[in-house]
Amino acid sequence: MPENPAMNPEPEDDEQGFLIDLDDADWDEDELEDDEDESGHEPGQADVERPVGEVELYPEASEKGTRLDKYVATHVASLSRSYIQDLIEQDRVLVDGQARKAKFKVTPGQVITIDVPERQSVPLLAEAIPLDIVFENEDVVVVNKPAGMVVHPAPGHEGGTLVNALLHHAPEIAVGGTNRPGIIHRLDRDTSGLMVVVKTDRARTSLVAQWQARSVDKGYIALAHGVLDVDEATIDAPIGRDPDNRKKMAAVRGGREAITHLRVEERLNGATLFDIDLETGRTHQIRVHLAFIGHPIVGDALYNKYGGPFGGHGESFAPRQFLHAARLAFKLPDGKGVEFTSPLPTDLEQALERARER
* Residue 13, SS3 per DSSP: coil
Q: How many Å separate Cα 267 from the centre of its chain?
A: 26
Return the H-helix or E-strand segment holding 145: strand 140-145
Catalytic residue, chosen from 35, 69, 139, 188, is 188
**List of residues 6+ apart from 187 with CB closer than 8 A:** 145, 151, 193, 195, 325
Dihedral sign, Cα of residue 129, residue 151, residue 285, residue 89: positive
Beta-carbon neighbour count of residue 254 at 10 Å? 14
**List of residues 6+ apart from 213 with CB closer than 8 A:** none
Beta-carbon neighbour count of residue 263 at 10 Å? 14
Dihedral sign, Cα of residue 240, residue 246, residue 247, residue 250: negative
**List of residues 6+ apart from 30 with CB closer than 8 A:** 103
Burial class (CB in 10 A: 0-12, 13-18, 19+), 55: middle
φ/ψ of 352, rounded to 5, equals -65, -40
End-to-end CA separation in angstroms for the chain: 19
CB 173 within 8 A of CB 197: yes
14 a catalytic residue? no
Q: What span, in angstroms and rounded, lies between the C-alpha atoms of 127 and 160?
A: 7
Which residues form the catalytic set? 188
